[in-house]
Structure 1
Amino acid sequence: MAEHTIDINLDKCRRHEEVVSQLSPLFSVLAGDSVKIKLTVTKFTYPDFLVLVTAALRKLDEINVTPDGEIEIDDKTSGYISRMNFFQNLNVKFEEQFQRQDNNGRFIEITNFDGESDYLMVDKVVQMLQRYTSIDQSVMYLISFCLGEVVGNIFFHAESKNGGWITAQYYAKHNKIRIVVCDTGCGVHHSLKTNQKYAAWTEAEALEKCIENKVTNGKGMGFGLYATANFAKLNKGELLIYSGDNCLTSNRHGIKVSSGNKWQGTFVYLEINTDISVQPELVTDGYTDFIDSFKERYEEGGINGLW
C-alpha cells in the first residue's frame, strides 16, 4: 500500500492543462492506497476546472479509495463553489450560508450523467441559452447538435464506469459560453485502436485524427468531433480535447497536439462565441436535418411546453 499526498491548488491554474498536471497523480492510485488531498481555492475559478477535479476524485470510487484531507477556501469563493454542487458531488459536508436561487440561465451545475440522461444535459444547456434573445440562432442549433454528439461519445466509446460529467456557464457580458464534458474511461487512443485500421496509431496520432470525418471505432459515424471542430473554428471559438498524455487544441489559428500529464479518459472543452453567426451547412457538410429536430424539440409544441 502506498501513501499519496496530492496538492491541488486551483489558484495557480489558468489553463485546463495546468489543472490536469495537478490531478494526474490521482490516476496512479491503486486499491488499498491512502490518499491525502490539500485543495486550495481562494480565488475565482472556472466551473470547468472544478468539474475536472470532481471527476478525477470520484474515479477513486472505482477502487474503493476514499481520500482524506483539507480544503482551503474563503467566503467569496465558497458560496459559488457550493452553488455549482462541487461539495455535494464529492460528498463533502458544507453548510451553505445563502438561500439557493434558480440558476437563471447562467450556468449548469456540475452534473453526473449516464446513458439514460445524456441528452437531458443538452436540454439543460439549450434551455439556459434560450433565455437570451441576443444569442445567434445558428449558434443555438450548432451547440445543440455538437453537444449531443459529444455527450453521446461517452456511452459509445469511453467505457466509463462513472458515466460522464458536465458543467457549463454562460458569460453574457462577453457573449461566451464555456462547456466541459468529461469522463474517466478508456480514452480516445484505446477506443480507436479497436478498429484495426487505426491499430498502429500512436496516442498523439489518434487524438489528431479523431476530429477528421469518418474516423470511428466502428460504433458511430465518426462525424461528431469533426463537426464540433469545424464549429469552433468558424465561430472563432476553441475546442480542446485532452485524452491520456496528449492534448489537442483546435481554433481559427489551426490544430495543435501537445504532450502533457495524464488524464485518464477524455475531456472536451468547448468555448463558443454566442454572437458570431455560423452557417450550419458549413459545419456539417450540408447536413441540416438537425435544425428541424431542434425546432420540434425546443420550440413551440416541443419540450419547452413541459417547463
Structure 2
Amino acid sequence: MRIRMDLAYEGTDFHGWASQPGLRTVQGTLEAALATLLRVPSVAVVCAGRTDTGVHARGQVTHLEVDEDTLAGAAGRSGQPLPEVLLPRLNGILPPDVRVRSVAAAPLGFDARFSALWRRYCYRIADRAGSVDPLARRQVLAWPRPLDLEAMNDASAALLGEHDFASFCKRREGATTIRTLLELGWDRDPDGLAVATVRADAFCHSMVRSLVGCLLAVGEGRRPAAWASEILRAAARDPAVTVVHAHGLTLEEVRYPPDDELAARAAQTRTTRVARHR
C-alpha cells in the first residue's frame, strides 16, 4: 500500500530534510519513527521538496510503501481504519518539532515528488523596528533597514516564467537548473512583515534564498530593479547576490492535480527532467 503523509516541522534543529550519517534530519527522524511504529528494520520515505538546513515546513508531503499485513500488525486491535490509525501513534513517537498532520491511502498513481504541480514557499522579513518579534525570531529574518516592496515587485516580475536559474542555484552534478517560476511577489502581512510568496514547478538548491537575497539589494536601493534580470541572464553565480539565512523560509503548500491525472503528471515530470538533463 502506498501511503500519503502530510507533515509540518520547525527546521531550526534539523540539518535539512535529507538523511545524512550522524546528523539529525527530518527524513531520518521520520523514517526512524515509522520503523519503530511498523516494527520493521527500515522505511524509505519520498518527499515533495527537500528543504535545506534550518528551513521550516507547514505543508510538506511525503509517501511511503508499506505491506498491508505490516500495517495491520502495527494497528493491532484498535478497530480504527487503516492507515489513519497510524497518525496519533506516530506523533506519539516523533519529537515535538515535527508533526504528521494527516495520513491516508494514496490515490492510484500518486507520487509525492513527481506528481506535484507546484510548491509554494514564503520568506518572512521584519524590516521595521515595530515588527521584530523575539518570539518569532526562528521563523522571521530581522532586517535592519526598511525595504521598498514596490521596487522589489518590479524586479520580481522579470524573473517569472521558465528560465535557467543557474545564477540563483547551487549546482549539483547532473542536475538541471531550468525551472518555471509561477509566482514571485512581495506584500505586507497584518503584522507588518515583508512576505515573499514564491511558487514554482520545482526548486533547485538555495534558489529561493538566493532570489530573496538579490531582491533585498533592490529593496534597499543598492541596486536598480533591472539588476535582477541581469543576474538571471548571466546564468552564473554572482558573489554580489547574498544567499539569505534559512530561518525565514517556510514550505507552505504543495499542489497536486485531480486523482485521475496523478499518474500522467508524474510521467510528464519525469520525462521533462530527463530531457532537460540531456
TM-score tier (shorter): under 0.3
RCO higher in structure (CA 8 A, sep ≥6): 2
Q: Which has the larger radius of gyration?
A: 2
Decide which structure has greater helix share.
1
